Structures are given as structure tokens and as C-alpha cells.
Amino acid sequence: MEPTVTITRRGADRLAAGHPWIYRGDVDRAPAGLRGGEVVAMKDGRGRFLGKAFWSARSKIALRTLTREDVPVDEEFFAERLASAVALREAAFPGEPSVRLVHGEADLLPGLVIDRFGDVAVLQTLVPGTETRKQLLVDLLWDRLRLRSVVERNDVRVRELEGLPQVKGVLRGEEPGALEYREGAARMRLDVLGGQKTGAFLDQRENRLRAGAYARGKCLDCFSYAGAFALQLAGRAEHVTAVELQAPAAAQLRDNVALNGLQNVEVAEANAFDFLRDASEREPEYDLVVLDPPAFAKNKDALPAARRGYKEINLRAMQILKPGGILVTASCSYHMSEALLEEVVLDAARDAGRPAQLLEKRGAGRDHPVLMGVPETHYLKCFVVRLP
């Protein structure tokens, strides 16, 4: 029998509305000595059962709901949740070996992220509830997916909010070594232990393929990282300039260009803000510009400065696009809502003195589902805009 945590009316209303998080201020009573990672039963002030959740002893998010049903949260529970997540990917991307396999709360597995690259799985256990069950999760993955390696990329700051250390390494099997995966016809090399996050940013995969369909003439890919957008643009464009500031990423970008045998991609190792500013001082020369920056707003307090940053890069991009040019602009900042990003893009268009036609509103790929009622899972926004 799990220990019981009583939550306030406000917390109960939040659960009823479909959000799985209960903040510490909405915990009315909790047993003394509860350890982070324990599964607890949630009840309201009248003693009515509301669900079961992971307990956090340190985070502002005290409870992360696992189920609204009064069922055992055991090995079978996690095996079924993992099977459901795998089934979604098999339906959305049949035969695709590289996918986001588990996407945290959106897959009803809070605090757990798993990316798969063929026979290698990359695990992030971001809260004590998943950290204390890490070996169980590895066992379930190993038994189901015929892997040769499971690694953890738990070197992320969010774990510090839970009192967890930053670590990375092999959890089971062999060192994964250098890997390769495909996005459409493009081949991409990645390093799951040395690269950013889990080694690749799979959330933009479908947006990159879509951007490639718009490519023509002279294209610019800003904040290129390993060049995934640039490789898609190169299939149709006459020339692509990929801008990346970090030397290791720029080296990986060049390696990916060579791997694909491309002669029409130029790598500019530069600050994207500076590159865009300098380009805006010349006559418009680009037919398509991609803006895929890192998250400018890590928290709500950073939003005003982030808004200015997004405004600047979108304004510069519009200034360098030829008539009829296409802007593919993205934000992975949760705090930059879709409505706010649209407002920023419109402000930039006004300042540029150009009309803007919004062709598409896109988000993360289907292997990064959005859980309805949980706006935090709708973090990635991507607009396709035409400047007539």
C-alpha cells in the first residue's frame, strides 16, 4: 500500500483538467520522511482517490501523475507503458530505426526520455522516480528491443533541481562507438556520448524534410549544429550556407557534408547574429532562410530578452530574403508560446516593411507527441513564412 498525499482543491482541479503535475504549494499533507522517487496515492481533502504519482522531495513539482487508476505501479505497469510508447512509433514510423521512443509526460512516463538509434538506446532519467528504477527500465528495453548498447545521458541541469548528479556512460552492453542514421536520403553521423543531448535533435526531423521541399536557389541555415537542415536543403538548392559557431559542431557538420558527397554546401563558422547582421547590409540574396536557434528562454524571467533575440534574427532574415523567399523559423523555448512567436514574426515583418504569408504552423515530430492539456509538451514551434 502506497503512502497517501493529500492535495488541495486547486491541485485536484488541476488534475481534473488533465495536467499531471502538482506543485508543492498544492500539497496539503504528506507523511514525514517520504523519499524522492516513491510512488504515492493522491487524495483530496475528502479522502477521495485521485491517482498515483512519483513523489519529489526537492523539486517545485512535488507530484508527477502516473495513473488515475488504483492499479499497482510495478514492473508490469512500466512494461505496458513502454509497450504503448513503442507501438506509437511503430505505427507512425514503420521500419524506422531512429526515433524518440519515450517522450516523458506525453507518453505517460514522467521524467523519462529514450531515443533509439538502431540497436543503441539513449536514456535520460530526469526525476528520482525514474532514476531509482533505472535498472528496471534498462532491463525492459534490453529484453524488448534486441539492443547492443544502452547509454545514459543524464548530464543535464534539470536533474540538479531534483538533487540528482549529472552523469553519462554505458549502462549495459558495449561502447556504442560512432553511429549513423538517416533523415530521408541524408546520412548523419552522431556521437551519443559526446554530442549534445542524446546525440541528435530528432524533434525537428519532419520539419527538416519539409523545409527541403521548399528549397531552391541560394539558401541559408542558421544555428546549423551538425547540418541536418542544410543537408535537406542541399537536395534542391543551388547553394547552401550553414552557419555554426561551435567548432566541434562545425567539424561534425563538415563531416556530414562530406559523408553525403555534397559540393553545394559551405560551412561558415560564425555567430549567427553577426552573420545575419552583416548579410542584411547587402542586397537581399537568399531564397530560403532557416532559423533553428537554441532555447533563448530557459525560464519565464528570460522571456523579455529572448523575445528581443527572436525578433532580431527574424527581422534580419526577412531583410535578406528575396521577393517570394521562404523563412522557416523555429523556437524550442516552451515559454515562447506559439501565439507569442507569431506575434514576434509579425513584428519583424512590420519592421522589415514586408508582408508575410504564413504557410504552415508545425511542431515536433510525431515521435514527440503533445499531451493535450499539458502545454509544456508543446515546446517546439516551427513556422513556414513566405515574403512576397
Give catalytic status of residue 332 as yes or no. Answer: yes
β-pair partners for 181: 188
Which pLDDT belongs to residue 300?
85
φ/ψ (deg, to 5) at 251: -65, -40
Select the more confidently predicted residue: 67 or 200.
Answer: 67
pLDDT > 90 in the chain, percent: 95
Looking at residue 301, its pLDDT comes to 86
pLDDT > 90? residue 299: no
* Domains delineated in the chain: 4-67 (2.30.130.10), 75-176 (3.30.750.80), 201-387 (3.40.50.150)
User: If DSSP codes are grouped into helix, strand and coil, which group holds residue 325?
Assistant: strand
28: which 3 cell numbers?
Answer: 496539503
Rounded to an integer, the average pLDDT of 92-98 is 95
Q: Average pLDDT, stretch 343-365?
A: 98
In this model, does residue 199 exceed pLDDT 90? no
Which candidate in 219, 222, 332, 382 is catalytic? 332
pLDDT of residue 165 exceeding 90, the answer is yes
Could you tell me where the DSSP H helices lie in 187-302?
Answer: 205-214, 228-234, 247-259, 272-280
CB 154 within 8 A of CB 137: no
**Residue corresponding to grid cell 519592421:** 351
Whole-structure pTM value: 0.94
Max Cα-Cα span within the chain = 70
Of 43, 200, 18, 11, whose CA–CA distance to 105 is shortest?
18
